[in-house]
Structure 1
């Protein structure tokens, strides 16, 4: 089973908020399926 996160996934929104608030760095986002990649894209503004 594989999980695919999108920019609208709840967990992505939580991690984006944590990174944007300065609570965590991008390198601290867990490598859970594609979570880190999606969070990085959202934070960097490369996802519409």
Structure 2
């Protein structure tokens, strides 16, 4: 399984990190989920 920026689970985790519910380090290392979430978060801070 491969997650993309448009995957529902990626969007949920991005929202959770942005709201302060979780830190980005707490995003699970499932397939490429953590990598994609970190990428989206990095793009949102530019």
- 2:4 pairs, out of 6, 19, 25, with 6
Question: RMSD in angstroms over aligned alpha carbons?
Answer: 1.1
Task: Give the structure with the higher percent helix.
Answer: 2
List gaps (5 residues or longer) in structure 2.
none
Taking structure 1 as the reference length, the TM-score comes to 0.88
Q: Deviation above 2 Å: which 4+ runs of structure 1?
A: none
Query: What is the alpha-carbon distance in structure 1 between the residues aligned to residue 30 and residue 23 of structure 2?
Result: 16
Q: Does the alignment pair 1:38 with 2:42?
A: no
Taking structure 2 as the reference length, the TM-score comes to 0.92
List gaps (5 residues or longer) in structure 1.
none
In the alignment, which residue of structure 2 is the partner of 1:20? Answer: 18
Computing the radius of gyration from Cα coordinates, the structure with the larger value is 1
The number of aligned residues is: 44
